[in-house]
C-alpha cells in the first residue's frame, strides 16, 4: 500500500463500501449505507466547531434566566457527543445509527446540527453533502484505504474543524 493524501478524519471505509455496494443490488435503497456513513462522520466532526445565536426577548430555561440580546455560542461537538441525547455509545462509530435517517437517530430535535439549524442553517449543506457522497462513492469503487498507524486523531478548530496532523492514508487499487 502507498500513502497519498489525508482525509478530515479516520473512517471505516470498508464498512461504507460494503453497504454502498449492497445498495447497488437494490436500486431502491439509493445508497443508504453511504448516506449513513456520511451522516455519522459529519456528526463526529462537524464542518464548524461552534455557531452563535442572539436571543430575541427574555426567556427562562430551567432555573436559568436568559436576557434579551444575549449571544449564545453552541459548541457542536459537545451536542453531538452528549450521552443524554445520543446514548452511552455517543462517541462510537455506529453506522446503523442513521439507517432510518437523521430524524430517528436521536432522542431530541435539533441535536444533529453539523450545519447549524433553523432559519439560519448553512445554505450549502445539501450541495456539500451530495458532493461528498458522490466523491466517496466514486473513490471507493476503485480503491481501498487503511489509516496509517502513525495517525494521531487531533481535531483542530479555526472557523472549520480539520485534523491538526492530517489523516495519512494508505491505499490499494481494487
Q: Mind giving me the DSSP string for the chain?
A: -EEEEE-SS---HHHHHHHHHHHHHSGGGTTHHHHHHHHHHHHHS-SBSEEEEE-SS-EEETTEEE-TTPEEEEEHHHHHT-HHHH-TTTTS--GGGGTT-GGGSSSSTT---BTB-GGG--TTHHHHHHHHHHHHHHHHTTEEEEE-TT----EEEESEEEETT--EEEEEE-
Is 30 labelled as part of a ligand binding site?
no
- Residues annotated in the binding site for heme, as ranges? 122
Binding residues: 122
Amino acid at each position: 500500500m502507498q500513502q497519498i493524501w489525508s482525509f478530515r478524519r479516520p473512517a471505516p471505509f470498508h464498512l461504507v463500501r460494503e453497504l454502498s455496494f449492497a445498495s447497488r443490488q437494490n436500486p431502491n435503497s439509493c445508497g443508504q449505507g453511504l448516506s449513513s456513513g456520511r451522516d455519522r462522520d459529519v456528526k463526529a466532526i462537524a464542518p464548524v466547531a461552534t455557531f452563535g445565536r442572539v436571543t430575541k426577548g427574555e426567556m427562562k430555561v430551567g432555573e436559568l434566566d436568559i436576557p434579551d440580546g444575549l449571544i449564545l455560542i453552541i459548541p457542536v461537538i459537545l451536542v453531538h457527543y452528549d450521552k443524554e441525547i445520543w446514548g452511552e455509545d455517543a462517541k462510537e462509530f455506529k453506522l446503523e445509527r442513521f439507517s432510518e435517517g437523521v430524524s430517528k437517530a436521536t432522542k431530541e430535535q435539533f441535536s444533529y446540527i453539523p450545519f447549524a439549524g433553523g432559519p439560519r442553517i448553512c445554505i450549502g449543506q445539501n450541495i456539500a453533502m451530495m458532493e461528498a457522497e458522490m466523491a466517496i462513492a466514486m473513490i471507493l469503487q476503485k480503491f481501498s484505504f487503511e489509516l496509517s498507524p502513525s495517525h494521531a486523531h487531533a481535531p483542530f478548530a479555526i472557523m472549520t474543524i480539520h485534523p491538526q496532523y492530517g489523516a495519512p492514508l494508505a491505499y490499494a487499487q481494487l
